[in-house]
Amino acid sequence: MNNMKYRAIVIGTSAGGIEASVHILWKLPVTFALPIILVQHLHKDQDVVALVQLYNDRIPVQVEEAEEKEQIQPGHIYLAPPDYHLLIERDETFSLSVDEKVNYSRPSIDVLFESAADVYGPSLIGVLMTGANHDGALGLQRIKQYGGMTLVEDPATAKFPEMPKSALACTEVDYVLSLDALEKVLFTLAADCSNG
């Protein structure tokens, strides 16, 4: 992996996902030079301020809620706001929508992944982890189709294997990895594309 190739990482996860995200992100250096965009399924009344705080207490890279029209910056981790779909525009800004739920979810992982694939094409890394539904499978397929790299948490060790499984059922993904291995991949990537 060299630092010219990848420009963004999208991560999708549902039940068990908060721990999983912290697990793979807690070692990232503050100098990490890619934006990370995260859909974590939440209850719509979830206290998102508290969740962002929890992430920031555990992850060195700045975690914040994505805002509509905001320019995506490297070295930030953006969380999709509860009850909104998060999409990426061609000029690398965020859009939000309250369109119907997709896979019973809003935000939906598919919606983020598909729009990210449109924008970043082969320069995108998609990561799908633990969850008890089917969201993200089609989105990951799109990322693969457009030449991006696809990583899926190993259903054998995932807390809720259904989401990784349904992704594996519809796409030849690039890597199937444990959380420890995912953490290492991101760490290696970080060494390759850090600011300094």
Partner 1 sequence: MQEQEIEEIERTLLLEAIFLRYGYDFRNYSQATIKRRIRQFVAKNDFETVGDLLPRVIRDPSFFQSLFFDFSVTVTEMFRDPSFYRALREEVIPLLRTYPFIKIWLAGCATGEEAYSTAILLQEEGMLEKATIFATDINDDSLLRGQKGIYPLKLVREYTENYQNTGSVCSFSQYYYADQKHIIMDRTLKNKITFAHHNLVSDQVFGEMHLIFCRNVMIYFDNTLQDRVFKLFDQSLIRGGFLCLGNRESLRSFSLSNKYERLDTKNRIYRKHVTHLHKSNLPIIHSLPSHE
Residues 23-82 that bind partner 1 (CB under 8 A): 67-69, 81
Q: Is 23 a catalytic residue?
A: no
What is d(CA 33, CA 120) in angstroms, rounded to the nearest whole number? 15
- Given 41, 105, 115, 134, the catalytic residue: 41
Does residue 105 touch partner 1 according to CB under 8 A?
Answer: no
In angstroms, give the least distance from the CB of 138 to partner 1. 11
Tokens linked to 37: 């965009």
Burial profile 118-145: b = 16 or more Cβ within 10 angstroms, e = fewer: ebbeebbbbbbbbbebbbbbbbbbbbbe
**3-state percent helix, strand, coil for the chain, nearest multiple of 5:** 35, 25, 40
Tell which one of 2, 100, 169, 172 touches partner 1 (CB under 8 A): 100
**Could you say which DSSP state residue 161 is in?**
T
User: Which residue number, 39 or 111, has a Cβ lying nearer to partner 1?
Assistant: 111
Contact status: 111 vs partner 1 (CB under 8 A): yes
State the angle between helix axes of 162-170 and 137-145 in degrees (0 to 180), rounded to the nearest 10: 40
Least Å distance between CB 167 and partner 1? 20
Q: Which residues bind to partner 1, rule: CB under 8 A? A: 67-69, 81, 83-85, 87-90, 95-100, 111, 114-115, 118, 121, 146
